[in-house]
A = this chain, B = another copy of it.
Amino acid sequence: MTQKIPTRLYLAEDELPKVWYNLRAVMKNKPDPILHPGTLQPVTAADLAPVFCKGCIDQELDDSTLLIPIPEGLQEFYRAYRPAPLIRAYFLEKTLGTPAEIYYKFEGNNTSGSHKLNSAAAQAYYAKEEGLTSLTTETGAGQWGSAMAMACAFYGIDLTVFMVKVSSEQKPYRKALIETYGANLIPSPSDTTESGRKILADNPNTGGSLGCAISEAIERAVKTDKCRYVLGSVLNHVLLHQSIIGQEAKAALDKYGIKPDIIIGCAGGGSNLGGLIAPFMGEKIKGASNTRFIAAEPVSCPSFTRGRYAYDFGDTAQTTPLIRMFTLGNGFIPSANHAGGLRYHGMNSVLSKLYKDGCLEARSYEQTTVFDAAIQFAKIEGILPAPESSHAIRAVIDEALECKRTGEKKTILFGLTGTGYFDMTAYMSYNAKTMSDSIPTDEDLTRGFATIPAIPQNR
């Protein structure tokens, strides 16, 4: 192992993964099933059929097939922007003076700016294959809406994006990007749906919320012929699609005989973290590695570090099935934080189970310390990271400095999920020293927990 490792470890096109890694299949203790909120019985494919594409439903409910083929028509799209580079952070290592070896999988090299495109492409592909003509979705910060707009433009599917009204006003360039790719963007709440009109009647001046946008998007999907709804995180099929991140990273590291000691990712709904760690966690479960896994989340929305493990709704409007997960309560309202993609009350059920069982660690960070790390990284590694991704960078720098203290030469892999090009207001706030942190009080958490449904399974 005296071989010189290049700065960028690329896979050749014929080395690209042809299968996704379904982590649930190797878990001895499976995540609890998703429940129908009315019957409290496990949801069936038939329950989900009016809302989601069939291909996605099959994947959502499959906890036994380990390797699931990536369809050739989707591999074609992946080849348009993948492989994502796996980069050795030589400059960061040198600047920190750490003996640790640091690698990052960079998912921001596409116009949507993040890993979200991996699942957007898959969901648009299945919609096309199943003869659907349109899709609906919601977007907050805008990464997911951008990714869906790109994927739908490629596959020739009409897309309606309900964008949280306040976000569409604060991020006109994100809105413009989504529209440039041909999507129909509707600020939410809108007068185009019953749920939107109801919210507007009750509160005409609301800036909207993700929960409200989800309700509008689902309503539009179920009421429209040949139309379904797509979601960008939290659900198992989304994590499955994102396993392309881990599959590529592992293939590239395996070429050089590198085995990570620590793998770090930021966690909002869990799609990036779950996708990055999937094949590595599989090895650990099989007893083939001792890798540690760390989730990095904001202190303002500490689902893992201060949440409860319980069945909860995925949305604030309490319309989704019930998912057993670490949750702050579907009514928890995180204080303003620039990492919009991490402001979610819950967490994917697979990751929640792994955390519950001690296979996954979690840490929470204040956003000013996160931006300290982001800017240090940007100046030496050259990539301006997304606020979300920067939570992972903070954790990596802390681990690398710990290695410096102890003299341990650990190998660290982390997920750099995206770029901050459409998040410059956050950097402006940091530069102007007007950025603040906000840690929820115990009372804030108690109020959130009170919204977790009091069903038998939660007792």
The interface of chain A, by Cβ under 8 A from chain B, is 6-8, 10, 12-14, 79-81, 91, 109-111, 113, 150, 153-154, 172-173, 176-177, 179-182, 375, 378-384, 419, 421-422, 424-425, 427-428, 430-431
Contacts and interface: CB of A to CB of B under 8 A. Distances in A.
B419 A381 contact: no
A422 B231 CA distance: 27
Contacts of A91: 80, 154
Residue from A6, A79, A382 whose CB has the most chain B CB atoms within 10 Å: A382
How many copies of the chain does the oligomer comprise? 2
A35 to B, nearest CB: 38
A78 to B, nearest CB: 10
Given A111-B378, A383-B111, A421-B421, A427 B180 contact: yes
B177 A424 contact: yes
Nearest to A112: B382
A18 to B, nearest CB: 15
Contact of A111 (B176, B384, B430, B431): B384
A369 to B, nearest CB: 17
A427 B179 CA distance: 9
A428 B154 contact: no
A109 B87 CA distance: 14
A375 B144 CA distance: 20
A382 B154 contact: yes
A424 B154 contact: no
Nearest to A431: B179
A450 to B, nearest CB: 40
A276 B113 CA distance: 26
Contacts of A173: 173, 421, 424-425
Contacts of A6: 12-14, 79
A378 B428 CA distance: 29
Contact of A431 (B113, B176, B428): B176
Contacts of A375: 180
A428 B380 contact: no
A419 B10 contact: no
A28 B153 CA distance: 49
Contacts of A424: 172-173, 176-177, 180
A428 B382 contact: no
A435 to B, nearest CB: 13
Contacts of A421: 111, 113, 173, 177, 421-422
Nearest to A371: B180
B81 A382 contact: yes
A378 B79 contact: no
Contacts of A154: 91, 379-380, 382
Given A80-B382, A111-B383, A150-B382, 16 more contacts: A6-B14, A7-B79, A109-B109, A110-B382, A110-B383, A111-B382, A111-B384, A113-B421, A150-B379, A154-B379, A154-B382, A173-B421, A176-B424, A176-B427, A177-B427, A180-B424
Contacts of A80: 7, 91, 381-382
Nearest to A419: B111
A182 B379 CA distance: 8
B177 A384 contact: yes
Given A7-B80, A8-B13, A428-B172, A379 B422 contact: no
Contacts of A150: 379, 382
A176 B430 CA distance: 10
Contacts of A379: 150, 153-154, 181-182
